[in-house]
Amino acid sequence: MKMVLGIAGEIASGKGTLAKYIKEKKGGNIHRFSTALRDVAHRMHLEESRENLQKISTIFRENFNDNLLSEVIYHDAQADEHPIMVIDGVRRMADIEKLRSLPDFHLIYIDTEIKIRYERIIKRKENSDDATKTFADFKLDHQREAERQIKDLKKYADFVINNNGSFLELYHQVDKIIDELGEK
């Protein structure tokens, strides 16, 4: 039996941290929506900034279809032989609609206060522009097209995790979810 956990949450809410934990501690695998976008940016010799990745995403969706990236993730997940996998970066209803057709798909929404998320993003420096980002810039990032639907996904989540605390608190919550799903 496969367990497919889609992770949604606003910028720097802890999606990657949660995915990494599941991979390392539960023997899972990670599929990220941003991987295809980063591949394109890298191939085109573009800076991997949040703005550039969002532009590439918008170009794909406007010129092909709204669920192009979820189609890629769907097929990757189907081919994955790991017993548990994480789909990191669910952002839209179109993503959820496609991914819900995977057997044993469950959506987890990570809820984290904006100030905590801002502190995390400037420390982690995942994107080239993270370290120099002001709080005002961070708030503007949430208004970009690629980010607008994320907050609404919370009401469609099978589970909501509060990530305003420690790593251990986060890990305890996901362990409980995995245990609960494993019993079904």
How many structural domains is the chain composed of?
Answer: 1
C-alpha dihedral (107, 144, 125, 43), degrees to nearest 10: 90
CA within 13 Å, CB half, 48:
13
pLDDT in tens, 88-142: 999 889 899 999 999 899 999 999 999 999 999 888 877 777 778 889 988 888 8
Cβ atoms 57, 150 nearer than 8 A:
no
User: Distance (Å, rounded) from C-alpha 145 to C-alpha 128?
Assistant: 20
Quick one: pLDDT band at residue 146, thresholds 50, 70, 90? low
Domain that holds residue 109: 3-183
Point out which residues pair with 161 in neighbouring strands.
Answer: 110
The enclosing domain of 156 has a CATH number of: 3.40.50.300
Q: Which amino acid is at 180?
A: E
Q: Give pTM, 2 decimals.
A: 0.87
